[in-house]
Amino acid sequence: MDIMGINFTKMHGLGNDFVIIDALGENFYLDRGLVCKISDRKKGVGCDQVLLLRNSDVADAEMVVFNSDGTISEACGNGARCVAKYLANKESKFEINLLSGNRILHCDIQNRGFVTICMGNPEYKWDKIPIAEPVDPLNLDLHFEDNLGNIIFNPIALNIGNPHVVFLVDDPYKIDLEQIGPIIENHALFPKKVNVNLASVLSRSSLKLRVWERGAGITLACGTGACASVIAANYRKHCDKNVEVTLPGGKLNISIDDNEKIFMTGPAEYSFSGNLFND
């Protein structure tokens, strides 16, 4: 596909950065090679994910999420906040409904550039996460050792629109996530690969988190990872239902209501806009 003349907007949520391409009213799609070219931080615009906006009959827009390696992801929490803010400004609205994968995300634009999104309910069924065999996803018999001799074990797997595995650890920064992340991401137990979360419980209302994102690697923040980690810590009775999650790029607030719906609140910031062209 020729990229000449395609407008884009660069945004980020806590440093998790995106190139948004608005194809509403247009008729084009992105192939894997073009996504990789756009995502390249040395030769392209540079981003963790490319977000393509398309027309939807059931929402204000459909958001198609491409990882920086060109693969498609079913969900992206930080990206959804950025797209919601982009569409809200474009359409002068304070509420946006966004189709992402098989979920409709209800997004509310708050003060000071913050966005709250109802991320829906977590999925625990092994074949829906998905996991390759019928095991208990809330008590996985898995352990991994990094190059430094750190062992992580007994994670929880769940789906928050995309698959996650959460390890509760003492300090996520002492573990070589760059080395161990891709090993877990590509483990045979996860047929669609998996996002890897290392979460440390600081208090009943606070977590510290690092994430290896499927198809993107280590990012400064991951919204669905924050949601998954709070669900996992709450299930293990380590934290309550309203938790501040500190990631390398900043903080997200994650809350769980009585129906186990997950709400994520955090910032969405503009970086710059431009036009894609071939040399």
User: Do both 78 and 166 map to the same domain?
Assistant: no
Q: Tell me the pLDDT band of 2, cut-offs 50, 70 and 90.
A: low
Task: Give the burial string for 152-178 (b: 16+ CB within 10 Å, else e).
Answer: beebbbbbbbbbbbbbbbeebeebebe
Q: Tell me the pLDDT band of 278, cut-offs 50, 70 and 90.
A: low
Q: Tell me the pLDDT band of 27, cut-offs 50, 70 and 90.
A: confident
User: Do both 101 and 148 map to the same domain?
Assistant: no
Q: Tell me the pLDDT band of 29, cut-offs 50, 70 and 90.
A: confident
pLDDT on residue 111:
85
**Residue range(s) defining the domain that contains residue 173:** 143-260
For residue 75, pLDDT over 70 is answered with: yes
The closest alpha carbon to 154, from 134, 173, 135, 171, belongs to 135
The closest alpha carbon to 144, from 103, 204, 99, 194, belongs to 194
Express each pLDDT in 133-192 by its tens digit.
999 999 999 999 999 999 999 999 999 999 999 999 999 999 999 999 999 999 999 999
Say if 152 falls within a structural domain. yes
User: Do both 249 and 150 map to the same domain?
Assistant: yes
Say if 182 falls within a structural domain. yes
pTM of the model: 0.94
User: Do both 100 and 188 map to the same domain?
Assistant: no
From CA 172, how far away is CA 252, in angstroms rounded? 17
The pairing of strands 163-168 and 195-203 is parallel
For residue 262, pLDDT over 80 is answered with: yes
Say if 244 falls within a structural domain. yes
**Segment 95-113 mean pLDDT:** 94
What CATH number is given to the structural domain containing 53?
Answer: 3.10.310.10
pLDDT on residue 257:
97
Say if 132 falls within a structural domain. no
CA 37 remoteness from chain centre:
21
76 is catalytic: yes
User: Do both 97 and 45 map to the same domain?
Assistant: yes
For 109-168, the DSSP string reads E-GGGEEEEEEE--B--TTTTT-SS---TTS---EEE-TTS-EEE--EEEESSSEEEEEE
Say if 138 falls within a structural domain. no
pLDDT on residue 57:
96
Average pLDDT, the chain: 95
pLDDT on residue 1:
47
For residue 23, pLDDT over 60 is answered with: yes
**Segment 232-239 mean pLDDT:** 98
From CA 19, how far away is CA 71, in angstroms rounded? 15
Which of helix, strand or coil describes residue 269? strand
107 is catalytic: no
Query: Of these residues, 36, 76, 82, 239, which one is catalytic?
Result: 76
For residue 279, pLDDT over 90 is answered with: no
The closest alpha carbon to 80, from 92, 56, 102, 64, belongs to 64
Looking at the structure of the chain, the number of domains it has is 2
**Segment 51-75 mean pLDDT:** 96
Query: Of these residues, 47, 107, 222, 239, which one is catalytic?
Result: 222
For residue 56, pLDDT over 80 is answered with: yes
Cα–Cα distances (Å) from 247 to 117, 173, 176, in that order, read: 18, 11, 16
For residue 231, pLDDT over 60 is answered with: yes
User: Do both 50 and 147 map to the same domain?
Assistant: no
pLDDT on residue 3:
56
